[in-house]
């Protein structure tokens, strides 16, 4: 019951899939952190740390 691919090719494809998945997860985490940092910086620019009287 196979799909016609040698076992070593399936193993290689699985390794590549896992590598790409890890890359995607890392890039997503970096982007999420970037969005949070930009939002925090924008709020910091908008709101002074002391009362304006």
Name the token pair of 5. 């691919």
User: If you count them, how many residues does the chain have?
Assistant: 53
Cα–Cα distance measured from residue 34 to residue 26, given in angstroms and rounded to the nearest whole number: 12
pLDDT digits over 9-52, tens only? Answer: 999 999 999 999 999 999 999 999 999 999 999 988 887 667 76
- Chain-centroid distance, C-alpha 5: 31
Cα–Cα distance measured from residue 36 to residue 44, given in angstroms and rounded to the nearest whole number: 12
pTM: 0.65
């Amino acid at each position: 019951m196979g799909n016609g691919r040698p076992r070593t090719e399936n193993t290689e494809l699985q390794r590549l899939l896992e590598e790409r998945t890890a890359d995607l997860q890392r890039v997503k985490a970096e982007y999420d952190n970037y969005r949070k940092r930009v939002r925090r910086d924008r709020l910091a620019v908008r709101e002074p740390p002391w009362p304006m009287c």
